C-alpha cells in the first residue's frame, strides 16, 4: 500500500544513505538507474555548497532564539560524545544548512505485502540498502506507485537528517531543531556512532546506533544535570514510554511474522488487517494509558496496515538486549565496548559474532572452540 501520510513518528527516523556524485544505484538484479542518480547527486551537491560553519549559524538573524539554543545544545552534545564516549566528531555537525522550513529529503522503503521481506537497492561500496533517499517528493511518490504495482507495501516519510559520513561532510539540517531536547541529544549521538562504526549490515548499523544513542543520551543528562532530579526523572520517564512502545511494536512484528509463516492465500489479506487493527486498539486501551506522555504516541491510532512501516521500526530496533549485554559485560566501559561493536561490524554476521563473543567470554576451557567459532563468522 502506498502511504503518503505524515505521522509524527517518535522513533528516530534517520536515513544512513550516501550519495556522492560518482555513486550508482540499481535495484537488485537490475541495471544502473540514472533517473535516480542525477537528481540525487544534484541534491547532495546543493547541501554541500550551501552549508556554513555551525558557529556562524548562531549569528544568523533568520534563526529564533530557541533554534540557537538547540544548536548550542548540539555543540555541547558533540563535545561530550567525543570526549566522554570516544565517538568520532571530525565530520559530523560542524556545518549547518537551513532548509527554510522544508524537509531535508524523503525516505522511501518497501516490503512485500504479505511477508516481512524488504525491497533492496544496491549501491557500490555500501551494498544492499532497504531504502532510497529522494530530494523531490514527486519522484519518491512515482517510485512508490511503481513498487506498489509490483505488489509491495511502500512507505514514505520526511527526513530531518541523514548520514553522509563517507563524504567527510555531515551537516546539521535546520529541521532537526524541531525535535524535543531529549530526542535531539539521542539523535546527535546516534549520528556520531555512524561516523565511528560502519557495517555492511543495515540493521546492525541502525540498531547499534539506536542503542548507543539512547544509552549515551542518559549519560549526557546524568553528567549535565546530576543536581537536578526533575530533569533526570523526565529523561527516565521519556525512555520508559519508549520502552513500552518498543515492546508493543516488537509484539506486532512477531504476530505478523507468525501470520505470514502460513500459506493462507487470500486469507492473508484479512489476517493482516486484523492484526494491525487489533494492535492499534490494544495500544490505545492497554499501553498508552500507562505512559507518562501518552500524547506523544497519539499517532499510533493512525498507524497504517503496512509491512514497510513496521519493518522500518524493526530496522532500528533489532536485538537491543544483545547490545546491552555486551556493554555490561565490558563493565559499561565505552572504550572497550565500542571496540567489540567495531569488531563485530567487520564480520559477515555481526549479530552472530556478538552472540558468540558473549558465550565465549571468560570461558577458558572452551577457548580454542570459541576461537574457531568466531573465526568462522569472519567474511
At 154-189, the pLDDT tens digits run 999 999 887 765 555 688 999 999 999 999 999 999
Q: What is the pLDDT of residues 216-265, one digit of tens each?
A: 999 999 999 999 999 999 999 999 999 999 999 999 999 999 999 887 66
pLDDT above 70: residue 3: no
Torsion sign across C-alpha atoms 213, 219, 221, 223: negative
Q: Express each pLDDT in 370-379 by its tens digit.
A: 666 666 555 5
pLDDT tens readout for residues 85-110 = 999 998 889 989 998 889 989 999 99
Report residue 313's pLDDT band, with 50, 70 and 90 as the boundaries.
Answer: very high
CB 18 within 8 A of CB 126: yes
Q: What is the pTM of this model?
A: 0.86
Per-position b or e across 50-67, b if 16+ CB within 10 A of its CB = ebeebeebeeeeebeeeb
Whole-angstrom distance, CA of residue 371 vs CA of residue 242: 37
Q: Helices 181-196 and 65-84: crossing angle, nearest 10°?
A: 40
Arithmetic mean of pLDDT over the chain: 85
The tens digit of pLDDT for each residue in 13-55 reads: 444 444 433 344 444 444 446 566 656 666 666 666 778 899 8
Q: How many CB atoms lie within 10 A of CB 91?
A: 17
CB-count exposure of residue 336 (10 Å: 0-12, 13-18, 19+): middle
DSSP 237-275: HHHHHHHHHHHHHHHHHHHHHHHHTS--TTHHHHHHHHH
The confidence band for 360, taking pLDDT boundaries of 50, 70 and 90, is confident
304: left (phi over 0), alpha (psi -120 to 50) or beta: beta
- What is the reported pLDDT for 207? 97
Amino acid at each position: 500500500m502506498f502511504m503518503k501520510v505524515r505521522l509524527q513518528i517518535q522513533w528516530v527516523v534517520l536515513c544512513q544513505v550516501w550519495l556522492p556524485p560518482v555513486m550508482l544505484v540499481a535495484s537488485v538484479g537490475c541495471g544502473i538507474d540514472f533517473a535516480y542518480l542525477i537528481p540525487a547527486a544534484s541534491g547532495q551537491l546543493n547541501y554541500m555548497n550551501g552549508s556554513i560553519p555551525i558557529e556562524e549559524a548562531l549569528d544568523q538573524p533568520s534563526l529564533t532564539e530557541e533554534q540557537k539554543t538547540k544548536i548550542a545544545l548540539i555543540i555541547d552534545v558533540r563535545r561530550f560524545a567525543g570526549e566522554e564516549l570516544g565517538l568520532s566528531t571530525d565530520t559530523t555537525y560542524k556545518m549547518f544548512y537551513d532548509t527554510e522550513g522544508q524537509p531535508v529529503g524523503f525516505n522511501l522503503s518497501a516490503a512485500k505485502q504479505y511477508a516481512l521481506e524488504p525491497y533492496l537497492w544496491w549501491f557500490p561500496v555500501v551494498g544492499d540498502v532497504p531504502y532510497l533517499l529522494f530530494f523531490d517528493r514527486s519522484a519518491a511518490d512515482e517510485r512508490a506507485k511503481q513498487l506498489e504495482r509490483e505488489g509491495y507495501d511502500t512507505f514514505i516519510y520526511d527526513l530531518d537528517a541523514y548520514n553522509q559520513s563517507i563524504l567527510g561532510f555531515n551537516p546539521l539540517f535546520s529541521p532537526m531543531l524541531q525535535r524535543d531536547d531529549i530526542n535531539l541529544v539521542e539523535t546527535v549521538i546516534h549520528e556520531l556512532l555512524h561516523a565511528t562504526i560502519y557495517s555492511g549490515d543495515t540493521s546492525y548499523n541502525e540498531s547499534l546506533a539506536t542503542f548507543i544513542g539512547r544509552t549515551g543520551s542518559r549519560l549526557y543528562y546524568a553528567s549535565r544535570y546530576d543536581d537536578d532530579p526533575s530533569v533526570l526523572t523526565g529523561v527516565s520517564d521519556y525512555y520508559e514510554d519508549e520502552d513500552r512502545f518498543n515492546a508493543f511494536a516488537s509484539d506486532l512484528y512477531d504476530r505478523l511474522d507468525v501470520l505470514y509463516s502460513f500459506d493462507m492465500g487470500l486469507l492473508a489479506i484479512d489476517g493482516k488487517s486484523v492484526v494491525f487493527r487489533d494492535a492499534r486498539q490494544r495500544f490505545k486501551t492497554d499501553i498508552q494509558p500507562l505512559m507518562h506522555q501518552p500524547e506523544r504516541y497519539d499517532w499510533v491510532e493512525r498507524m497504517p496496515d503496512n509491512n514497510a512501516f513496521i519493518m522500518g521500526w524493526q530496522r532500528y530496533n533489532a536485538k537491543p538486549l544483545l547490545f546491552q549485554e555486551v556493554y555490561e559485560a565490558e563493565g559499561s566501559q565505552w572504550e572497550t565496548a565500542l571496540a567489540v561493536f567495531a569488531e563485530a561490524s567487520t564480520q559477515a554476521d555481526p549479530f552472530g559474532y556478538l552472540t558468540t563473543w558473549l558465550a565465549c567470554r571468560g570461558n577458558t576451557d572452551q577457548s580454542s572452540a570459541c576461537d574457531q567459532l568466531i573465526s568462522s563468522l569472519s567474511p
